[in-house]
Amino acid sequence: MSKAVVVFSGGQDSTTCLIQALTQYDEVHAITFDYGQRHRQEIEIAKSLAQQLGVVSHKVLDVTVLNELAISALTRDAIEVSTELMDNGLPNTFVPGRNILFLTLAGIYAYQIGADTVITGVCETDFSGYPDCRDQFIKAMQSALEQGMDRQLNIKTPLMWLNKAQTWALADKYQSLALVRDETLTCYNGIKGTGCGTCPACILRNQGLQEYLDNQTRIMDELNQQC
């Protein structure tokens, strides 16, 4: 029996990955992290979607210790979300160590339930400037987890080489475009669906959706060539 653990935030990317995984694995488990994020409404969205989509189990972990250590616009309400990069070249929504922690805990969970696959919706092609969304980082994490637990583990990244328009096409391929558009939460200001429209996450998401709607046939063909 094939089993997978999906790192699931309730946003566009992870929901699309979850929908795809449900067609590819016998058992799909979702894991969501509460790290005191400013857009913590995503946790309730994730709970609702996990139930609606029918995952075998959905675990929500309290990792608010990350909030104590990592200073970011996503962990400090007093820091305004900005579209400008910081002096180090990173967006101020970057949470240092977040994906290191998330993938480590997802790997432990996979070990305990006998799953050999962890799925995450990180993307290098059309990402927000986060170093922990790069393919090189994912490969390093997979190697570290395999060595540390002495067990084969495959970290899959279905969106790694897709742009946002192609990610929308992937949701549409599984007849879930409306669900992902209307029921997920990507907005850093905690607004479901199209969001606030001004934060970096909303801008990227909405531009990708418009591009897909304007060029559906071409983008779906591009997606099918890649997948």
Long-range CB pairs of 202-206 (<8 Å, 24+ gap) are: 203/83, 204/126, 204/128, 204/164, 205/12, 205/164
How much is the pTM? 0.95
What are the tokens at 189?
A: 């200001």
Q: What is the pLDDT along the chain (227 residues), one digit of tens a residue?
A: 899 999 999 999 999 999 999 999 999 999 999 999 989 999 999 999 999 999 999 999 999 999 999 889 888 888 888 878 888 888 888 999 999 999 999 999 999 999 999 999 999 986 668 999 999 999 999 999 999 999 999 999 999 999 999 999 999 999 999 999 999 999 999 999 999 999 999 999 999 999 999 999 999 999 999 87
pLDDT at 179: 98
pLDDT at 173: 98
Interatomic CA distance for residues 211 and 194, integer angstroms: 15
Interatomic CA distance for residues 165 and 160, integer angstroms: 13
Helices (H), the chain: 12-24, 41-53, 65-69, 98-113, 135-149, 164-173, 177-183, 200-214, 216-226
pLDDT at 81: 87
62 conformational bin, left if phi > 0, alpha if psi -120 to 50, beta if neither? beta
The residue assigned the tokens 């429209």 is 197
pLDDT at 89: 82
Side chain identity at residue 161, one-letter code = W
Q: Are 164 and 204 in contact (CB under 8 A)?
A: yes
pLDDT at 127: 64
Q: Are 9 and 42 in contact (CB under 8 A)?
A: yes
Q: Are 40 and 33 in contact (CB under 8 A)?
A: no
